Chains A and B, each alone.
Chain A
Amino acid sequence: MKRTLLNLKIAFGSLGNFKLRTALATLGVFFGTFSLVVVGNLSDSLALKTEQEIANLGNNLIIVVSGQIRRYGPNTALISRATNLTLGDAEAIANALPATSRVSPSGFKAFPVRRGNTVLKAIAVNGVTPDFGEVRNFEIAEGSPITEEDDRFQRKVALIGRTTAEKLFGEENPVGKTILIWRVPCQIIGVMAEKGSDVAGNDQDNQLFVPLKTFLRNFVNQENVNIIYVQAVSAEAIDPLRREIEALLRVRHGIRKEMKDDFTVVDLKEVTALKSQAMGLISVLGRIAAAASFLIGALGILSIMILIVNERRVEIGIRRAVGSRKRDIILQFLMESSFISVSGGIIGMAAGFLMSLAIVKVLGYPVSVSVPGLLLAFAASALSGIVAGIYPSFKATQIHPVDIIRS
């Protein structure tokens, strides 16, 4: 221990003669650990964000959409014009498939909304069943929910999203007030809790909810729905239930074997796959950049170590004379080179850490620290230092005290 401390002190003194070169040499390692930590933390944050988004949609959720959807991703609206999902389909799923815990069919369409002189041109109006909140993880912040009676009697009541409420009412409490949705006056009975944006980036707080039967009768005057939300009894039940729903709906819709479905069961994993793919690409590029940086860093440290060994020929000769063995010399210089690289690496890790925090904050992602990422960065910086030190430290053992004494 004492030897290590003294050796490091001597190394520091010697490095003091090559301040700029040492700093430049550590720069490669700095960027290497920097990018590894940034990439590691961001990947973790994204994974966490995706999990949260899926949970936000609803627990153990399966979404059945009418028609075919070919593409998922940001700004691709999940709107289909097909009109073949019915309330009967929803009931059949609920009654025939025991793995379902709740079924919530829903229709939606954009309508102009007016209150006094304030007119909002197109707000998404959702026709929902009373239990849509449980299925889709929507909560009511103020007021009361839509009840069975509201639905059965097609009452003209509405729940309002926070964003919409602010646009129409500002600071005022909207509960109890009446607004005009399209040409239907509706009384607001509650305000939804804030939910943020969904996977597609749409503001989920900028919409209205009315009882499904009210919606079908007074707004769209049709019997079919756009979406059926199905909640499975457990996470394990999702995949089998998905296949059962597909089979059931094919029978109900009279689809023959060779024909394609006229509905789509959305896989939430696919919805988030695009983002994961993009992050995967960034990760790969980041790791390649990191590998290149470590290589450059190792070369830099190699050159500084050759300089240092040359500058300290006398020291090495004296150490050999007073009894250090070759392996002591090798160990000493390997420690020095890894110390240089780990110093640069730790600074890079700290900078990468702060950088990832900043990026995550800007993107609005949850903060996540990738411990494997940090460990990998540390190991890589130590390794590049050790590798860089091998040649110079063996060079150092070639120095013989006899050559030093009389020169």
Chain B
Amino acid sequence: MTPLCLMEDVRKTFRMGDDAVEVLKGIDLEIIPGEFAAIMGTSGSGKSTLMNLIGCLDVPTSGRYLLAGREVLGLQDDDLSVLRNAHIGFVFQSFYLLPYATVLENVLLPTLYRESAMDHTEERAVELLRLIGLEARMHFRPNRLSGGEQQRVAICRAMMNDPELLLADEPTGQLDSKTAAEIMNLLAKMNERGKTVIVVTHDPAIAASAKRIIRIKDGVIVDEQAG
């Protein structure tokens, strides 16, 4: 099967004044469609940088990265935006819903930047909210929802453009363990519906929900195992 993400000897170097710091030192990674993977590592291990590269928020310094068969290295900022919009749904640790928009409008946000129009956009958003049981509160502002509810809305937002890949960065970092389990269940549900899910975390309990665990340390992948 064609991999959704394919990294070959990916390196990332940051310039700090005169010093160059190599954060990723040759990553080889293959994610195939339908996978549920966790990237685990301590802070400073390079897992965030790796996530940014996978999510096309940043480009590698060298190496090859193919997302859905497309070479990412050398793409312009606008092309990266289009790529993210079409292929990737982000879930963040702090939810990051827009405070002045309603729940429904937040879910609709990615559709505002689609290249091609989508049919039945609003019905689709309402359908997603029904799936997470927040349909009744779609006209509320996000600040009237609990943390877990906000994160579920954020997952709907990530699903809205029907991307192949859900990329979740510490999605349970601000939630209690019970709510965290609910969120992981929801991500698992999305995975069952055919989405490829990658969760970035430092928490082994969270990583345990994934079918595959990729450990990263000092900029290299040190260990892979089935979850």
Whether the Cβ atoms of B90 and A322 lie closer than 8 Å is yes
Closest-by-CB residue of B relative to A16 is B100
Whether the Cβ atoms of A9 and B52 lie closer than 8 Å is no
Residues of B within 8 Å of A401, CB to CB, are: 57
Say whether B75 faces chain A, with CB atoms less than 8 Å apart. no
Residue-wise, chain B 89-106 has the 8 Å CB interface mask toward A (1 for contact) of 010110010111100010
Given A325-B78, A405-B169, A318-B101 contact (CB < 8 Å): no
Whether the Cβ atoms of B81 and A323 lie closer than 8 Å is yes
Residues of A within 8 Å of B84, CB to CB, are: 321-323
Given A323-B86, A405-B169, A10-B110 contact (CB < 8 Å): no
Complex alpha-carbon distance, A314 and B86, angstroms? 21
Give how many A-B residue pairs fall within 8 Å (CB-CB).
76
Complex alpha-carbon distance, A257 and B190, angstroms? 106
State the A residues within 8 Å of B (CB).
2-3, 6, 9-10, 12-14, 314-315, 317-328, 400-402, 404-406
CB of A25 to closest CB in B, whole Å: 19
Say whether B112 faces chain A, with CB atoms less than 8 Å apart. yes
Complex alpha-carbon distance, A157 and B81, angstroms? 94
**How many residues of chain B are within 8 Å of chain A by beta carbon?**
30
Complex alpha-carbon distance, A9 and B101, angstroms? 8
CB of B125 to closest CB in A, whole Å: 12
Closest-by-CB residue of B relative to A11 is B100
Whether the Cβ atoms of A14 and B78 lie closer than 8 Å is no
Say whether B152 faces chain A, with CB atoms less than 8 Å apart. no
Say whether B48 faces chain A, with CB atoms less than 8 Å apart. yes
Complex alpha-carbon distance, A328 and B86, angstroms? 16
Which one of B93, B96, B105 has the greatest number of beta carbons of chain A within 10 Å?
A: B96
Say whether B109 faces chain A, with CB atoms less than 8 Å apart. yes
Whether the Cβ atoms of B92 and A324 lie closer than 8 Å is no
Whether the Cβ atoms of A6 and B105 lie closer than 8 Å is yes
Partner of A405, one of B77, B85, B92, B99: B92
Closest-by-CB residue of B relative to A4 is B112
Partner of B100, one of A2, A12, A317: A12
Closest-by-CB residue of B relative to A13 is B100
Given contacts A13-B99, A13-B101, 10 further A-B contacts (CB under 8 A): A6-B105, A318-B109, A320-B81, A321-B55, A322-B109, A323-B113, A325-B81, A402-B52, A402-B57, A406-B93
